[in-house]
Amino acid sequence: EATLDLAERRRIRSAIRELQRQELERDEETLASKRFRPERSSHRQDDKENWPQSRHLEEEQQAALAALSEQLEAITSVEELTKLLRGAGEYEERKLIRAAIRKLRAEEIE
């Protein structure tokens, strides 16, 4: 609503500024609580329990990447590598295939 009373306008503006200030303070408190949230001890325990399993999976992945690397050395066609790249699901696999493609293209240029 519109009001012609200047004193009332000042009170309204002052109340609006106070509400905005309070909202900013609440937002800052929320951010601070999220930023400095302590780590839960049960979460650390879960990590310790799952560590051997995750280590085993990581070793399997490394072995699979090594086998893929050897397979890529044998391929001499960029088209075949491109097909493999399109079928690859993991980031590390795609990374190796792209490196092999770059290597073949560099050899073709030379």
How many domains does the chain fold into? 1
- Look at residue 41 and tell me if it is in a domain: no
Residue with tokens 């560590």: 51
Domain containing 11 equals 6-33+58-108
Alpha helices of the chain — where are they, by DSSP H?
6-35, 41-74, 78-87, 91-109
- Look at residue 99 and tell me if it is in a domain: yes
- Look at residue 19 and tell me if it is in a domain: yes
- Look at residue 40 and tell me if it is in a domain: no
Label residue 40 by pLDDT band (50, 70, 90).
low
- Look at residue 69 and tell me if it is in a domain: yes
pTM: 0.47
Question: What does residue 19 show for φ and ψ, rounded to 5 degrees?
Answer: -65, -40
- Look at residue 51 and tell me if it is in a domain: no
- Residues 43-88: tens digit of each pLDDT: 555 556 666 677 777 888 888 888 888 888 888 888 888 888 898 8
- Look at residue 87 and tell me if it is in a domain: yes
- Look at residue 21 and tell me if it is in a domain: yes
